[in-house]
Structure 1
Amino acid sequence: MVKRNPERCHQPLNCPACPRGRGTGSLLGTTEALATQATVLQQQVCKELVDLQIKNQRLQEQHDAEIFELKSEVLWLESRVLELEQQGARAAPAEADPGCYPALAQELGHKAGGRGHSYRCRLQSTDFLTPENKQQELGGGTGVQPHSPKLPAEAKWAQEQHGAQQKALETCVAALGRQLQGAWEEARTAGQQLTAQAVVLSACRGQLHQAEAENARLQLQLKKLNEAYAIRLQHCARTVAGYADGAGPKPTAAALRTFLETTLEDMRAAHHSREQQLARAARSYRKCLADLSRRHEELLTAHSVQQMLVDPVGAPGTPRAAFGVASSDVALLPLHTVTEFSHRTQNQARLEKQLQKLKAQKGSSEVSQGATLQPQGLEAASWAQIRQNLQEFARGTQAELERERAQLLVRATMAEEQLSELQEYVDQHLGRYKQEILRLRKLVGTGDPWKVGAIPSDKLQHPRTCSH
C-alpha cells in the first residue's frame, strides 16, 4: 500500500491514510455512543412516567371508593334524621289530643323503665277512693287515670323533656352531617389540587431535564466543530506554507481557490446551523417560561380558593399580590392564555359572591333555629380544628411550590446565560476563522478577498437571539 504523507494530504478528513481522519472517525463513534445513551435515558424516563400514571390512576380509584363509602354513611345519617323527625311528628298529635295520654304514658314507661314504674306506683297510691277507677285500672292495665289532675302535668312535662332532647339530638346529628360532608369535600378538593400541582411540578422538571440535555448536546457539537475547523485550518496553513517555500509541488491557483471557497462555505453552513439551533433553544426556553407563568397563575387561583375554604370568615392571610406574576412574564403569554385567565378570574369573583350569599343565608338560618349552646360549641371547635389543619396544609404546599418555582427560575436564568456565552463564543471563533481565511488568501494572492463570497467584517457579529 502507498503511505500518504499527512503533512501534504489534500484529501478530505475521512482519509484512512491520514491520522486526523482516524481521529475524526473516533469522534463520530463517540457521538453515536452518546446518542445511544441519550435514547436509553429517554426510554427510562418514559417508563417512569408510565409507572407514575398507573400509580396515580390507582390512587384515584381508591379515592373514589372512599368517597362512595362516605356518601353511603351520609345517606344513612340522613335516613336516621328522617326517622327522628317522623317520631317527633307522631308525638305531636298525642300532645294535642287529651284522650291519648294513657298510650303516651305507656310508651314513656317502656322507654324510661324505672321512671314509668314510679309513676304507676304513685298513681295507684292516689287512686284508691272510687272502685270504678280501680276497676278501670285493672281492666285497662295502664295504671294511668285520664281524668286525674296530676297526670296531664306529669305527661306534659315528660313530653316536653322528650321533645327537647329529640330536637337537640336532631340538631347535633344535622350539624355533624354538615361538618362531615364539608370536611370530605374540602379534603377531596385539596387532594385534587395537590395532584394537579404534583403533575405540574413533574412536567416542569421533565422540561428542565430536556433543556439541560439539549444544552449539553449543543456544547458537545460545538466542541466537535471547533476541533474540525482547527484541523482544516492547520491543513490549509501547511499547504500555503509549502507553496510559499517552494518545497512541495506547485498547486494550481484554481484548486487552492476552490479549497478555500469550500472551507468558507462549510463554515457558513455550520454557523447557520448553529444559529438555528440557538434560535430553537431560545424558543424552547421562552415556551417553558410561558408555561411556568401559566402554571403559577393557576396555582395562585387554587391558593385563593383554598384560602377561602380554610377561612370562610375572612381572616387576613397571604395577599394575592405577594405571589403576583411579573409584567414581563405576562407579556410572554399568548392571547388565548390571557383570555382564559380573565375568564377564570370572573368565575372566581362570581363564586365568591355566591359563597358570601350562602354564608349570609346560613347565618340567618342558624339564628332562626336557636340551637343549644353545647352543639354550637362543638361545631365551633371542630370547625376551628379543620381550619387550622387546612391552613397549615395550604401554607406548607404554597411554600414548597414557591421554592420549586424559584429553583426553576434560577435554572432558566443560568441556562440563558450559558446560551448567550455560547453564542458569543461561536461569533468570536467564526470571526477569527474568517480573518485567518482572509490572511491566507492575501498570502496566496487571489486578489480582493471579498469577491469570493466572504462576509464583510461589519456582519461578523450576528444579533443575539433574545430569550426574554
Structure 2
Amino acid sequence: MFSPWVSHPWTFIQSPSRGFSSSLDQLLPAPHRAEISASEHMDLGIVAENEKVQLQDGNDGMYQLGDSQEGMGKLASSKTDFPARVLFSEEEKLKISKDLVDLQIETNKMKEQYETENFELKNMILALESRVRELELCSEKVTGERDSLRERLRALESARKELAQEYIILKSNYLALGKELDQEVRRNEELTQELLNLAKGRNTLPGTESTHLPAMAHQSSAELERVRGKPEDVVASGHERQELERNLLGNQDHIKVELEKLKKTHDWQQKLEERVLGLGKELQEAKGAIGDTQRRLVEQSAVLLTSQSQLQEVEAENSRLQLRLKELNEEYRSRLARYIRDVANYMDSKSNHVTGHSKAPADHAAMKHFVDNMLKDIRASYKSREEQLARAARGYKKRMKDLVKKHENLLIAYGLQREQIRSLGSSAVDCGPAELHFSISDPELLTNTTRELNRLREEKAKLEMQLQELQKKRLKEASAFPLPPEQQLDEEGWAEVRKQLREFTHNTQEDLEQERSQLLTRAVVAEEQVLELQEYVDQHLARYKQEILRLRNAEGSEGPRVLSARAAAAPPLPRARTVSHDP
C-alpha cells in the first residue's frame, strides 16, 4: 500500500530511475548488471519507497543541523551581549545607589528642618508662656489697684457727703446768725434813735431832768452797757462767721482737690480697664496661637511617633539583615578557605604523581588564577564587613551626638527654669541642684564648647554658693541689728539693681544659648552631610575603578572572565564558549 506521495508512481519515479540505473551501472560489475536490468522493472516500487525514506532521513538531518547552527548563533550572540547586560545591570545598581543616597540626604534635610521648626516652636511656646504669666501678674496687680481705688473712692464719697452735711449745717447757722445780726442792728438803730430823743427831751425839759435824773441815768447807763455789749457780740459773731467762711472755703478747696484726684484716678482706672481688656484680647490671641502650635505639635508628634516606629522597624530589619549577612560572609569565607586548602592539597598530590612537564605550567597558571580570585573574594568579604562595622560605628557616633545635643537643650531649659524661679524671689520654692550636677563628664563626648560651658557652670555654681552664704550671713546680721530706714531704702535699691542685672543676664544667656543651639544644629548637619558625601565618594569611586578595570579586561580579552570563585569553578560556561566557536 503506497502513501499519498506515491499515488502515481510513474510520475515520481521516472527521473530517479534513470539516476539510479546509471549509478548502478557505474558501481556494480558487469555480470550483475544484466540481472539488475532484468529485475529492474520488478523491484521498481520497492526501490522508490526506499529512496523516499532515505530522502526524508536526509531532510531531517539537514533540519536538525540548521537548528543546531541557529542555536549556536543565538548562544554566541547572547555571550557577546553578556558584558553589555552586565554593564547595564551595574549602571542600574549605581543609579539605584545614587537615588538611595539622594533620598538619605533629603531625609536628613527633612530631619534638620523638623528639628529647627520644633526648636522654634518650643521657644515660641516658652515666650508665650512667659508673656501669659506676665499678663496674669499684671492683671492681678491691676485688679488689686482697682479694688484699692474703689475703696478709696468710697471713703472719699463718704467724706464728701459728711463735708456736704457740715456745710449745710454751717450755712444754716450762718443764715441764722445773719438774721440775728440784722435784728441787733435794727435794735441798735432804735436805741440810738431813743438816745437822740432822750437827749432832745433833756435839753427841752431841764426841770424834769433833775427829778428823773437818777432813774434815767441808771436806765441809760444800763442801756449803754447793753448797747456796748451788742457790738462786741456782733464783732465776735462776725469773727466766727469769717472763721467759718474760711473753714468752708478751705474745705471747698480740699474737696475740689480731692475731686480732681478722684477724676484722675477714675480716668486712670478707665485706662487700666481698657488696658486690661486689650491684654485680655492679646491673651486670647496668644491662647489661640498656643492652641494652634499645640495642635501642630500634636500632629508633628504623631508623625514623629509613626516615623520613630517605622525607623525602629527598619533598624530591626537592618540589624537582622546585617546579622544574616555576617553569617553568610563567615560561611562564605570558611568555604573559600576550605576550597583553597583542598586546592593546595590537590596541587601538592598532583605535583607528586604527575611526571610530564608540558602540561604542568598551564595547570599551575589556571590554578593560580583560580586561587587569586578566591583570595580576592575573601578580601572583598572582609572589606565589606569592615565597611559595615564602620557604618555602624558612624551611626552610633551620630546617635551619641544627637543625645548630647538633646542633653544640652534640656540643660538650657533647666537653667532657664531655675533663673525664672529665682527671679520670683520666693524662698519657699527650691530651685533644684545646679546645672553642673547634670552635665556630661565623659571626655569622649565632650567638645571644646561643652568643656567651656561646664567650666562656666562650675564657676556659676561656686558664685551661687557664695551668694547663698552671704545672704544667710546678711539675714543673721539683720535679725541681730535692725537696719535704719535709709539703709533699708538702699537695700531696696540694691535689690532692684540685682533684679535688673539678673534679667539682663537671663536675656543675654537666652540669646547666646539660642545662637549656640542654632550653630550646633548647623554644624552637626554639615558634619553629617560631609560624612555621607565622603562615604558616597569612597564607595562609588572604588566601584567605578573596579567597573573600569572589568570593562577594560572584558574588551581586551576574548576568553571568559571569572567574576567569582563559584563562576570560576563552574565548567559548563567555557565548554559552551568553545562549542559556540566550532562552526
TM-score (norm 1): 0.38
Larger radius of gyration: 2
TM-score (norm 2): 0.32
Q: Indicate the structure whose relative CO is greater, using CA pairs within 8 Å and at least 6 residues apart.
A: 2
Structure with a larger share of its residues in helix: 2
